Homo-oligomer: A and B are copies of this chain.
Amino acid sequence: MEHSVLGHTRWTFSAGWIPAQSTGREPEYTSRNVLCVLNTSSGDACVRVTVYHEDRDPISPYEILVPASRVRHVRINDLIDPEAVPLGRPYGLVLISDAPIVAQLVYVDTRKNNLAVAMISGVPDVGRRSS
């Protein structure tokens, strides 16, 4: 019960970029971005994702279902409906969920035959702001 309100319903990322090359066997060493969503609420969360680009209109909705009391890690590389997210191009994400969630992003880069990993939290929307 005390978990039921953890998180926020809207999250934003501006640092999306998926390397177009990889070194090593798939899928373990495929360069990727992984969107990590935790739903601690007692109901399923339907997360509608909008992907922003630098040179064309945003694409939406990508829909991700995160069941109640579950975590889900989705490779952005695997989002193909309504269309694949281009590799090697900047993108941004907005997540709008019908239940509170927590969203973080993991960056994996194997272009150079070493592993580079970075992690970043989304920016939550914490309600009406005064500035």
1/0 per position for A1-26, CB-CB distance to B under 8 A?
A: 01101111110111111000000100
Residues of chain B contacted by A55 (CB below 8 angstroms): 70
What copy number does this chain have within its complex? 4
Number of interface residues of A (CB under 8 A): 67
Cross-chain contact A14 with B38 (CB below 8 angstroms) = yes
1/0 per position for A36-73, CB-CB distance to B under 8 A?
A: 11101000000000101111011000000000011111
A96 interface hit (Cβ, 8 Å):
yes
C-alpha spacing A103/B116, complex, angstroms: 22
Cross-chain contact A106 with B40 (CB below 8 angstroms) = no
A115 interface hit (Cβ, 8 Å):
yes
Return 24 A-B CB contacts under 8 Å, by A number. Answer: A5-B129, A6-B12, A10-B131, A12-B38, A13-B38, A14-B36, A14-B37, A15-B105, A17-B36, A24-B112, A36-B90, A38-B52, A38-B94, A57-B69, A71-B90, A92-B102, A105-B119, A107-B117, A110-B112, A112-B115, A117-B118, A119-B119, A126-B126, A126-B129
**4 extra A-B contacts, CB within 8 A, seeds A36-B90, A106-B118:** A2-B96, A6-B94, A15-B73, A114-B116
Instruction: Give me the interface of A with B, judged by CB distance under 8 Å.
Output: 2-3, 5-10, 12-17, 24, 29, 34, 36-38, 40, 50, 52-55, 57-58, 69-73, 90-92, 94, 96, 101-107, 109-121, 123-131
